[in-house]
Structure 1
Amino acid sequence: MSSSLHIERLDPATCPEYDAFVQSCEAGTIYASRAFAQFLAATAGGTPDCLIARKADSIVGVLPFCTGTVPDRGLVLNSLPWFGSHGGCVLQDPSDDAARHALLEAWHERALAPDVLSATMVLTASEEAFRARYVAHTGARLGDTRIGQVTTMPATEEDQPGALLAHLSQKTRNLVRKSLKQGFVEELRSDDEAWCFLYQTHRENMSALGGRSKPWPHFEALRRCFGPSGLRLSLARCEGTPAAALLLLLWRDTVEYITPVVRQEYRSRQALSFLIYRAMLETSAQGYRNWNWGGTWQTQTSLLHFKAGWGAESRPYSYLVSGSWSDHAPDPNEVDRALQALPYYYCYPSHWLKQSC
């Protein structure tokens, strides 16, 4: 390891130099950005933090994470918390093993502290190729996996609609064509009424699925931290009535699929397909190349198939878990206590608890 390489810590939410570095990295993601650190500080609980690898005066790598507190018990580290986030190393040069090694050793040292209950790192798809090195340098265990899915959108062409439709499966093309005949009108909105419709319909949709919805303060924080230039909120109206909405985050050349919602009575008329198609058409014409659908459980076959219909390719990624709970199975009640204190953190793999019972 180069003697000029050293590790320091800083708050990514308050450091412009950090954000400029992440923006410059080919493998940088919105989840490593300063805006997302500010968002996590407002919503996930705990404190944003970051390990920085420097050579001389230049940043060559970063490892963002958050530290959450379980009262009277200890700490939980996540790189990173919240729905579908990724963490791990972001390197100026992905082949820089010295910087990756130094960052992972510093993470390992932090995870070994006696007050750390659990430390989870969610790898990006690009760092998944180096998973064996993560395990070797941190002693972490594979706690979970997800399947990330990304659509590479066509470059701007004279016939952009035709190029985009050709990128989709036959079934999805048919659904899009159906949606275009329903009389929907797309509106790009940023007002309170649009955000309220998004939130209320999201709650209804998640309740119908038996899932957990994002709280209203999280939508407020997204709106505040990313601003009009960093997000895209669209509504589909039918004869003046809101039918569906789609919230996307925009970062460099990537569109992040954050919250899609649709009123039940417009589902069969493909109101959401209409909004996705319109958003893909506009963002690809603006130069965005990647549409990140986020992670999906391997058991969610219908959702995997839906995303694949939009031209998405699978990019698996891992959750690597260390900390004292990784070595000694905790009491399930202690894990429940941690989840109650830190509901947006990954605290412990549920299947490990089942194995220890």
Structure 2
Amino acid sequence: MNVEITNEINLEKYNKLLSNSYEATFYHSTKHILFLQKILKIPMNFFVASEKDKLLGLLPFFSKKSPLGIVVNSLPFFGSYGGFIADQFETQKAILNALNEYNKQNDVLSSVIIVSPFSNFTSIYEKFYKFSFKEERRIQCIDLHEKSQEMLWNEFEQRVRRAIRKGQKNNISISKITPEGDSIEKFYQMHKMDMESKGGRSKPKSFFENLNKIFETDTDYNLFCAKYDGREIAYLLTFYFNSYVEYYMPAYDSTLKHLQGTSVLLWESIKHALEKNFKFYNFGGTWKNQEELYRFKRGWAAKDMPYFYYIYGDIERAKKNGLEQIKKDFENFYVFSYDLIK
């Protein structure tokens, strides 16, 4: 078996590997990797394990270099999951050993693997990746296996059912739209205002501008829009891959929150997932201090699933250079928890 780093890969072989992997979510997909490459303006890379002409497994990653050192993420950009795609123990071990060697031989400030919450191989990372820190996170996810709309409806908390009914009584209309021209600008502006009101960081405009250039609507994603009296009041972007739906980006007009357009929007999105026979509706990560958001997701019958950040790196060098310099040099990359650098 040979493991090498490359930025060129046979996409047909990669897609076949992904299609046979239970834990391969949207974040591992070729289109998402290409999307990251376009908006980050950094070439994608892979640790590729092969034998003769056969692709055995790989680990996608991006790296960024500054005078502070090199930061490696599998994967970067707002907590995208990464890690290896390989089902054989020896392949998994060989890929992680190759990353360990890369970390040792290069001027690496931080090297981070964000392991999918759907991975069955956490113990492999624990044993063979030489990490310095480990951080636990959680997602909230609806299990759609063998669920009908009626069954799922009955699992929702009463407050969620009430909210959906209220939105329906307010004659909220839902449609799927193509993100281009005026519609993508409205979505971007609503997202930006929404994040600013919460003190969060909005996604760059290039994210919105490239959506329709990389992904195919109805196949890879949908952008749902809620309207009240002809006016756009909320959006929801969902991505699809294998068995998974990613509740990726909601945005809404906070002044019209009481109309419950977001509740109707989300319910229509979930019904679409059921119709298309997806198995998981992933609400994504929720911080422990986001109590209101946690309760919101829990109300939709979403269950907690842990996942982990495995971080190799030189924390003292990061502290010496300071948090603001880290943020400036490694935008859209995870280096260390900010609490450790302060």
Give 1:335 deviation, angstroms.
Answer: 4.6
Q: Distance in 2 between matches of 1:223 and 1:332?
A: 42
Q: Distance in 2 between matches of 1:267 and 1:12?
A: 46
TM-score by length of 2: 0.93
Q: Distance in 2 between matches of 1:76 and 1:303?
A: 31
The question of whether the paired residues in 2 share the 8 Å contact of 1:84 and 1:294 is answered with: no
2:136 to 133, 142, 145: 145
Count of residues in correspondence between the two structures: 340
1:347 to 335, 338, 342: 335
Structure 2 match to 1:29: 25
Structure 2 match to 1:240: 230
How does 1:182-261 map onto structure 2 within 5 Å? 182-190=170-178, 191-228=180-217, 229-261=219-251
The question of whether the paired residues in 1 share the 8 Å contact of 2:221 and 2:238 is answered with: yes
Describe the superposition over 1:216-244 as per-residue Cα deviations: whole angstroms up to 9, x where unpaired.
11112233221222110111111111111
Work out whether 1:77 is the aligned partner of 2:72.
yes
Give 1:56 deviation, angstroms.
Answer: 4.4
SS of the residue corresponding to residue 141 of structure 2 reads strand
Q: Distance in 2 between matches of 1:335 and 1:322?
A: 18
CA-based RMSD: 2.0
Distance change (3 Å), C-alpha of 1:168 and 1:100: same
How does 1:47-126 map onto structure 2 within 5 Å? 47-70=43-66, 72-91=67-86, 93=87, 96-126=88-118
Give 1:132 deviation, angstroms.
Answer: 4.4
TM-score by length of 1: 0.89
Q: Which amino acid aligns with 1:260?
A: P
Q: Which amino acid aligns with 1:179?
A: G
SS of the residue corresponding to residue 44 of structure 2 reads strand
The question of whether the paired residues in 2 share the 8 Å contact of 1:13 and 1:37 is answered with: no
SS of the residue corresponding to residue 259 of structure 2 reads coil
Q: Distance in 1 between matches of 2:123 and 2:41?
A: 30
Q: Distance in 2 between matches of 1:255 and 1:13?
A: 26
Q: Which amino acid aligns with 1:149?
A: Q
Identity of aligned residues (%): 26
SS of the residue corresponding to residue 146 of structure 1 reads strand
Give unmatched runs, 5+ long, in structure 1. Answer: none
Structure 2 match to 1:133: 124
Q: Distance in 2 between matches of 1:260 and 1:192?
A: 19
Give 1:55 deviation, angstroms.
Answer: 4.0
Q: Distance in 2 between matches of 1:237 and 1:141?
A: 48
SS of the residue corresponding to residue 268 of structure 1 reads helix
Q: Distance in 2 between matches of 1:329 and 1:144?
A: 19
Structure 2 match to 1:163: 151
1:176 to 158, 164, 171: 164
Give unmatched runs, 5+ long, in structure 2. Answer: none
SS of the residue corresponding to residue 331 of structure 1 reads helix
Q: Distance in 2 between matches of 1:184 and 1:213?
A: 26
Q: Distance in 2 between matches of 1:56 and 1:148?
A: 39
SS of the residue corresponding to residue 35 of structure 1 reads helix
Give 1:146 deviation, angstroms.
Answer: 1.5
Q: Which amino acid aligns with 2:107?
A: D
Describe the superposition over 1:13-62 as per-residue Cα deviations: whole angstroms up to 9, x where unpaired.
77332122112211111111111111111123432111122244332322
The question of whether the paired residues in 2 share the 8 Å contact of 1:179 and 1:271 is answered with: yes
Q: Which amino acid aligns with 2:182?
A: E
Q: Distance in 2 between matches of 1:154 and 1:122?
A: 26
